[in-house]
Amino acid sequence: MTRPVTPAPAVPVPAPAKDPVHGGRAAWIMLASGWSANQFSALLGAYRSNLGLTESTVTGLFALYVVGLIPALLVAGPMADRRGRRPVALAALALNVLSTLLLMAGGLGATWLLLPGRFLTGVSAGALLAAGSAWIKELSGSPRRSGLFVSAGFATGGLGAALIAQWAPWPMVTAYVPHVVLGVVAGALAAREPETQAGRRDVRRAPDGPHPTRAFRREVLTVAPWIFAAPTIGFVTLPGSLHEGLILTGVATAVVPGIGLLTARRAVASVAPGLVTIAVGAAVAAAAAGTGSEAVALVAAAILGAGYGLTLTYGLTRTVALAPAHQLAGWTAKFWTAAYVGMFTPYVITLVSRAAPVPAVLVAVAVLAALTSWQASRPRRRTTRPRR
């Protein structure tokens, strides 16, 4: 009598070895993404004064970035899960450089090119965030590295563009040159890195908890808009309500993500510290708007930057903990989509300020952030109850 043959258990394809050097090289594309977003933010005052654009037009162009970014995130994330992180990220980087070239042409007088330029900046940045974040995490093993490099791009891009526009000739053109150079260099470095998704398509990881999708919505997506609501108040709303100068705007665009970069370096287990910090920062911002003090505005910007860094780190870390490995890019895209909804905040504040003064609106923002922190802590305690 023959003994039945027991089939050998399936062995998953091993994931590529994690190497911080590889992750660091590829992460420069995230620096380019952050730089491309904030170089325009630092020039908002110049677009008003040099090109005669209205406040609503300028803030609308700022928000147009998000209009392009959100659908790109939702499309590029699943695409990177199916076809690989590397090709999607590199194509997005090429489009990112093209968008900056269009903004440069808009500064030469063809102002209508600012619309497609700003829109494509959002599209390319969204695709970079979706594919690049997953790629860098899988290369280096760090879920926070992409966030650190994006924050560094936010900090340096805004200040660099403001300083160039203040003293260089043809400011609305030369301010964009560093990003073109950075994009080319980042592309050359990232092109040398391997694909990570091809060897991971058959890998499944047990999710964290019985209902990871429900937990992801509750613990990440509902609080993610505050991630970019905080910095945009610091470097868009406050400088616009206090001063038209490039230097204040440039310093604010450096202070907010710069402080965020420092606070994002450590893991955060709860979202409460970030939201409470944002609430305090919005309250100080209300005081700055009420008194017209630039010094208080910079203090508010620093506090808002700290809240940004804390919530960003929490969001990225929690997304990686909850997401199935084969859907990491798609879930990361959803996280960034929810986060970037917060970039509409300056536009909303501009509209609401027609009926109420800016300080009162910022006080309401502070109260809302505090309430969100309280609400976010309640359902998470319920998930610890044993199921019967």
- pLDDT tens profile 246-280: 666 767 777 888 898 888 777 677 889 999 999 99
- pLDDT tens profile 223-239: 999 999 999 999 888 88
- pLDDT tens profile 6-28: 444 433 434 455 656 667 789 99
Helix axes 145-167, 133-140, angle to 10 degrees: 120
What tokens were used for 206? 């047990």
What tokens were used for 345? 């905040």
Contact of 236 with 248, CB cutoff 8 Å: no
pLDDT, position 184? 97
pLDDT, position 370? 94
pLDDT, position 379? 52
Give 10-residue mean pLDDT values along the chain (388 residues).
45 49 82 90 79 79 86 93 93 97 90 93 94 91 85 85 87 94 96 78 46 86 94 86 66 82 78 94 95 91 94 91 89 92 88 91 96 76 44
Contact of 57 with 109, CB cutoff 8 Å: no
357-372: b (≥16 Cβ within 10 Å) or e? ebbebbbebbebbbeb
Q: How far apart are the C-alpha atoms of 23 and 314, rounded to whole Å?
A: 20
Category of 8 on φ-ψ map: left (φ > 0), alpha (ψ -120 to 50) or beta = beta
pLDDT, position 325? 84
Contact of 128 with 12, CB cutoff 8 Å: no
pLDDT, position 2? 47
Residue 282 CB contacts under 8 Å (≥ 6 apart), including other chains: 230, 233, 300, 304, 362, 363, 365, 366, 369
pLDDT, position 19? 59
pLDDT, position 246? 61
pLDDT, position 99? 97
pLDDT, position 263? 86
Contact of 99 with 121, CB cutoff 8 Å: yes
Residue pointed to by tokens 């933010």: 41
305-324: b (≥16 Cβ within 10 Å) or e? bbbbbbbbbbbbbbbbbbbb
